Structure 1
Amino acid sequence: MPTSPPEEQPVYGVVKLFQNLSERERYENMAELYAIIVTMEQLERAYVRDWVPQTEYTSACSKLIAQYKSILNLVGNDVPNVQRFMAQYRLNCPAAWKRLQTGVPLTVEHATLSDHDPSKSAKYVAETVQNFITLIDSLKLNRHAVDEIHPILSDLMQSLNNVTTLPVDFESKPKLLDWLIKLNQMRASDELDQDQVRQLLFDLENAHHAFYRCLSQNS
């Protein structure tokens, strides 16, 4: 009995995304950006659900934010708009987008008291005062670059959150947070202009005075 010829299997060709090393690096960088966004979304969800300890969350989130800033420098020409990139690749990651836009962990943006040690209250106050003075002095010494200002302002926000005697709605925190977000959306090499420096100094000095007023009212 004759046998039928074997059914031919379709042959799939290999589709190359790149033709040279430069193109390969381009796609790898875009893949890295994709991975950072997805990872940040999962981290934010895990923290909100209390699956990640506060200290581990803060460390991991800070690292992802730093990686995000670094990769943006590499994909700038290919990804001029991250939101458009997310839409193109169907990345539904609203929590990640908010955190990356804010540029600081949720624990810095909002006070979280679970890991605070009441016995270190004086230490937290001293750190906050030092951060105020350091940032104000840096601006007066003409250190206006984003990569010089942002770390100190981030430390200041964290130390303010550590001072549990401050009211939850401490009047100056929203303005300082706005500055932190604004700096995060600039390049590290950018510098504040004279008007911005003057306004930031004004906001910092007002916040410094408000901080002392709150401490004196609680003493």
Structure 2
Amino acid sequence: MYAQQQLAYAPSPYSYTPSSTLTATINLDEEVKLADNAAERDLYESLAEIYSIIITLDALEKAYLRDSIKESEYTETCDRLLRQYKSNLADETVAAAFGNLESFKLEWDLEVPKATERLKIGLPATVESAPTSHRPTSTASTNGTASTNHASAAHLVTASENFITLFDAIRMNMLSKDTLHPILVEIIQAVNKVTDRDFENKGKIVQWLITLNQMRAAEELSGEQARELQFDLNAAYDGFKGTLG
């Protein structure tokens, strides 16, 4: 006669008796330990520090792009964050738990595109490309060339020596990341002191920095990669010399 009213929940049988095994036995006033030993605690602290570095680096990159920070302050802070990031990941246990940057970002729901790009390159933006505050003053000329002709002989010699050092390392089959990456960094820094122009094939040096930066310290380039690096380096060296004419 009357429509049965639908319940808003699923009723339990009248005979149901709660099981004592479901009763909480945890002391809610007791501190919960995330780590069982000192090694685990150190691991979690390192991962937390990496997380903090990534977040800070992303904010720093955005501040730099907005001109909200001086180039000198940006360079110093960025370099310190990158070194701290690498230092934490130098520990094999931390590196294994970290995985890689993309998996870490996915696990912790991180949206940090600026930090991602900077970590891939492994250099502050002011080192990757010549900082404007340190660029030489241009002088007028008939062919429109910048003031690279006024670069000091010392900087020219240093840049050339760095290129030659890397050529020698490849020829001697010294192909590990911890050998090649520092030399590439020195090349970028040296050429930026000579010219503020993005010479032909300079981008290839940056791409190799990214490739090496994603490798482990003792990991080595394959024979094919070594030949490609030598070819790209020759092209970049020719492009660099072309800016000096």
TM category (shorter chain) comes to 0.7 to 0.9
CA separation in 2, counterparts of 1:127 and 1:56? Answer: 26
Q: Is 1:198 paired with 2:215?
A: no
Fraction of identical pairs, as percent = 42
Q: 2:87 aligns to what?
A: 70
Bigger proportion of residues as helix: 1
Segment of structure 1 superposing worse, 59-68 or 98-107: 59-68
TM-score between the two structures when normalised by the length of structure 2: 0.75
Please give the residue correspondences for 1:153-192 in structure 2 after superposition, counting only pairs within 5 Å.
153-164=184-195, 166=197, 168=198, 170-192=199-221
The structure that has the greater radius of gyration is 2
1:87-134 Cα offsets, whole Å, 9 max, x none, are 333333221111111211111223332223459712433322121112
2:129/2:196 contact within 8 Å kept: no
Instruction: Tell me which residue corresponds to 2:53.
Output: 36
Stretches of structure 1 lacking an aligned partner (at least 5 in a row): 1-10
**What is the rounded CA distance, in whole Å, between the counterparts of 1:72 and 1:121 in structure 2?**
38
State the alpha-carbon separation in 2 of the partners of residues 57 and 115 from structure 1: 14
Aligned-residue offset at 1:68: 1.4
Alignment: residue pair count:
205
Shift of 1:214: 2.6
* Deviation by residue 1:40-76 (Cα, 9 ceiling, x = unmatched): 1222122222233223322322222222122223322
Q: Check if 1:132 corresponds to 2:160.
A: no
Stretch deviating more after TM superposition (61-70 or 21-30): 61-70
Secondary structure, aligned partner of 1:107: helix
Which aligned pairs between 1:1-219 and structure 2 lie closer than 5 A?
A: 12-74=29-91, 75-118=94-137, 121-122=151-152, 123-164=154-195, 166=197, 168=198, 170-216=199-245
Judge conservation of contact 2:61–2:115 (CA < 8 Å) in 1. yes
Structure 1 runs of 4+ aligned residues shifted over 3 Å read 117-120
**2:175 counterpart letter in structure 1:** H
**Alpha-carbon contact 1:128-1:160 (below 8 Å) kept:** yes
Quote the Cα distance in structure 1 between the aligned partners of 2:134 and 2:70: 9
Q: For structure 2, which runs of at least 5 residues remain unmatched after alignment?
A: 1-27, 138-146
**RMSD value, Cα:** 2.3
For residues 157-196 of structure 1, what are the alpha-carbon distances to aligned partners after superposition, in whole Å with 9 as ceiling and x for unaligned? 1222233364x3x221111111110000001111112222
Q: Is the 8 A contact 1:102 1:181 kept in 2?
A: yes
**Paired position in structure 1 for 2:144:** none
In 2 relative to 1, CA 84–195 (structure 1 residues): closer, same or farther, beyond 3 Å? Answer: closer
Flag the 1:183–1:29 CA change in 2: closer, same or farther, 3 A. same
Would the aligned equivalents of 1:54 and 1:115 in 2 still touch at CA under 8 Å?
A: no
1:4 match = none
In the alignment, the residues of structure 2 paired with residue 100 and residue 164 of structure 1 have an alpha-carbon distance, to the nearest angstrom, of 25
Displacement of 1:34 in angstroms is 1.0
Change (3 A) 1:84 1:212: closer
Please give the alpha-carbon distance, in whole angstroms, between the structure 2 residues aligned to 1:86 and 1:105.
21
CA contact (8 A) 1:113 1:162 kept: no
SS at match of 1:76: helix
TM-score, with length taken from structure 1: 0.83
